[in-house]
Amino acid sequence: MLDSVRISLKVLNAAQLALIAAAALLLAWIGTAILGAGPATDGAQRAALTGARAFAEAVDAELHGSVADARTLALLLRPGDPALGEAERAALLRDWLALNPRYGDAALIGSDGSVRAAADPRRTGSSVARQPWFARARNAEIVIATNDGDETAPFDVILSLGLPGRSERIQLRAGPAFLEIGRRLRQALDLPDTIAFTVRGADGRVLAGTASTPWGEHRSASVPVQGGRELGSPGWVVTASAPPTAAVAGLPDGRVLGLALAVVGAAAALGYALGGRAAQPLQRLAAGEAGPDEPAVSPVREIAALTEAVAGRSQSREAALALAGTGLDRIKGRLQTFEAMSGWTCWEIDPETRRVVWSDVESAGTAASDHASDLSDLAAWFEPEDRALLDLTLDAARRADGPHDVVLRARAEGIDPAPEAERRVLVRFLREAGDGRRIHALSRAIGGGVSETPAGLNERRRDAVLRRVTDGIVHDFNDVLTIVLANLGTLRRRHGLNPEPARLVDAALAGAVRGAALTRRMLSLVRGEGETITECDVGASVEAALAFMQANVLRDVPVINRIPGDLPKVLCAERILEVVLLNLAFHFRDHGLRGFAIAAAEHLSEAETGFGLPAGPYVRLLIASGQHEPGRRARAPRPESLETVARLLAEIDAGWRLVSDGTAEEAFVAEIWLKATERRAEEPPLWQPALRVLLVESDGLVRASLAEALADLGHEVVQAASGEHALALLCESAAYDAMVADQSMPVMTGLQLAATVVERYPDIRIILASPHGRLPAAARQFLQLDKPFRPDDLAAVLSAAAPQVRAA
């Protein structure tokens, strides 16, 4: 064991005073340096935040630029043009990549996932249907997909060229240098070269930059990539790291340094002199000698050593406890901040001991306190019927990873408890990582609605998907009906048909019109749109409703329709009229009435009617039945059927008179008075002088049928398969009187094409074709044609455009 080192008290005192003087001078010098260190450190933090924001905005701009490049590439490839082969498209892709080196690959992908053309010839003919992004692309127009494990291609941009899931797609694969924009950003914002940028995907994978943490002290800031309304947030995060830029204070000059050394030396000499004078009594005390005026004392070296050891151990233990307490307080403060900001309450459950621990801020005032109770006390907070569900969810959380959600009802308390909907609590359980002995839980009240529950969110997603699928089905069905109406109308007009073929063609046309009404009802049902009072053709609506009623309600009951075809239109929604007739059919069936007859006539009332309706034109409907069928047992009557009829007709200000309800021996007789529209004056013939029409339709069969119908009307037709094709034809020659464009075209919609044509060629009259009520408000300035339409409807809208064309 080494001997202890002996230091003279005089030397020690001199060293102490010299160190004190040197420390004072050093602190003075450091203070002058620190005055500029704080702003410099703050400047490093601001520089990191500014760089992260600018980099995120630059990534947003690059992503939007990629979407624009994909649209440009779609116009170049012309997927709907059969004259362009796949080999030619592959050559075009390679030439385009040579001009855009920031992309590694590009491909045209079919709706079924097959690669139709690609810059890499090895990909042609392969399939991407099993790749994770393909399932998301069925319901999204634009998809940003990261590539796991491929550093040369960090992500792909996929653009649908039409309805998502039913059209071709353009896939652009970003190259390794796509996101290397740090150098340009530093030069543009005059940032130091020491700032480093890192881009991470939603799964934490590094897309650009380095994954390692910079060595030494750094200031960092993170900003999410927004994406915008068209793209949506891809979940990427941009992190910028910058070292502190505080400038080190320069060394003092020679004179100041010499003065400082002189001060330190003087302090050492003074300490040495004072230490020698004070050391004499201590030396005598340690040796046990007495001075002239001092009594003899015993040595104290052992006592001093023991005191120093005990004090050192006590200080070490107190420092460790204080450090641990500070860490626990910091963790608890973060949990309290999370609970206050999110509205969630945090729990910790030990299933083995059945103990539950949580924090309660309200009961302890400003300082939160921890509470512990048994698991049975937690279950007692909820309704008895829900406690079994709580136990099942806890057991599932113990057995499997991942969050487990459950909605429970808090127990009603008090004389006037809250409604059940206001006592609903969403609880989320998650097993602790590692051994999984503990379960963490989050809980919060979800109010009266269920929109925040997982079931409510899933229901909204299903509704959105159902609307999108229904829109696609209705669009295709309307195209089919348009083809049928156009060809049958052309056949009926062009060829003189005998009575029997003419009757069959008219029946087919009536069926197509009924199908158009069916698509409108389907859209209204799925979208949940309210009914508005619109003009309705009584004859067509009643005929369509009677066919449905006879097939599903009346069945073998004879039906008689005596509604003439020259009645004016009425102010009544077609759906309301169908519901009224359907309720009357239920009344007939339930009371065993034999026969359903309906007739109508136009009636002009010059005075106020007996229903309280004002004077004016009306269409009077008469509904009657036959006598009760003998020997037939009637069903249980539904009195609400006639009540529903009266209420519906009252909502649209229509008249309703029940002469006999058919419950007794008499037959059923009732009247309905519907407000009629004013008859329009005789219009000039629809056949206008020949117009030169530009027909823009992406579906080839629909385009050919409409071109045939327009030619049969005497017009000159030029066909275009897309908006880009139409603009190319207009560049060659703008001598067109009108343009008929379909709204639902891929890449460029009819409204987008119309906006471009109006700006460049204002003399061309534009007609937009779309299902009824599906055009946006911006399309009101153009003529509209509801799909499906007959050749007569097409002739009518062209006749409306012809006077303006001639005036121009």
Evaluate the CA torsion angle 164, 166, 167, 173 in order and state its sign. Answer: positive
Percent of the chain with pLDDT over 90: 8
Q: Cα–Cα distance between 20 and 567 in angstroms, integer?
A: 112
Q: With a cut of 90, say whether residue 623 has pLDDT above it.
A: yes
Q: Could you tell me which residue, 721 or 325, shows the higher pLDDT?
A: 721
SS3 of residue 363 by DSSP: coil
Q: Cα–Cα distance between 643 and 579 in angstroms, integer?
A: 12
- Helix (H) / strand (E) element for 310: namely helix 301-342
Q: What are phi and psi of 625, to 5 degrees?
A: -125, 170
The Cα-based distances of 206 to 148, 173, 350, 388 in angstroms read 10, 17, 37, 45
* In 78-103, alpha helices (H): 86-99
Counting every residue, how long is the chain?
A: 808
Q: Cα–Cα distance between 295 and 285 in angstroms, integer?
A: 10
pLDDT digits (tens, 9 = 90+) for 397-421: 887 777 888 888 887 664 445 555 5
User: Across the beta sheet with 369-374, what order do the strands follow?
Assistant: 369-374, 355-360, 345-350, 439-445, 424-431, 404-409
Task: Give the model's pLDDT for residue 301.
Answer: 58
**Other CB atoms within 10 A of residue 79 CB:** 22
Q: Cα–Cα distance between 767 and 566 in angstroms, integer?
A: 28
What are the beta bridge partners of residue 441? 347, 429
Joined tokens for residue 563? 């509604």
Percent of the chain with pLDDT over 70: 73
DSSP string, 145-180: EE-TT-TT--EEEEEESSSTTSS-EEEEEEPTTTT-
Q: Could you tell me which residue, 582 or 182, shows the higher pLDDT?
A: 582
Question: Average pLDDT of 614-632?
Answer: 82
Q: Cα–Cα distance between 196 and 185 in angstroms, integer?
A: 11
Q: Cα–Cα distance between 55 and 197 in angstroms, integer?
A: 8
* Alpha-carbon dihedral 249, 254, 258, 261, rounded to 10 degrees: 40
For residues 565 and 619, the answer to whether their CB atoms sit within 8 Å is no
Q: Name the band, by pLDDT with cuts 50, 70 and 90, for residue 365.
A: very low
Q: Name the band, by pLDDT with cuts 50, 70 and 90, for residue 727.
A: very high
The Cα-based distances of 504 to 75, 82, 500, 712, 788 in angstroms read 44, 36, 6, 21, 20
- 190-194, 609-613, 798-802: segment of lowest average pLDDT: 609-613
User: Across the beta sheet with 668-675, what order do the strands follow?
Assistant: 559-562, 596-605, 616-625, 668-675, 655-661
Joined tokens for residue 699? 């579906």
Q: With a cut of 80, say whether residue 718 has pLDDT above it.
A: yes
CA neighbor of 600 nearest in space, from 546, 521, 526, 530: 546
CA neighbor of 71 nearest in space, from 165, 172, 178, 173: 172
For residues 201 and 236, the answer to whether their CB atoms sit within 8 Å is yes
Q: Name the band, by pLDDT with cuts 50, 70 and 90, for residue 595.
A: confident
For residue 281, whether the previous peptide bond is cis, meaning omega lies within 30 degrees of 0, is no
Task: Give the model's pLDDT for residue 806.
Answer: 46
Greatest CA span in the chain, whole angstroms? 154
- 338-342, 415-419, 640-644: segment of lowest average pLDDT: 415-419
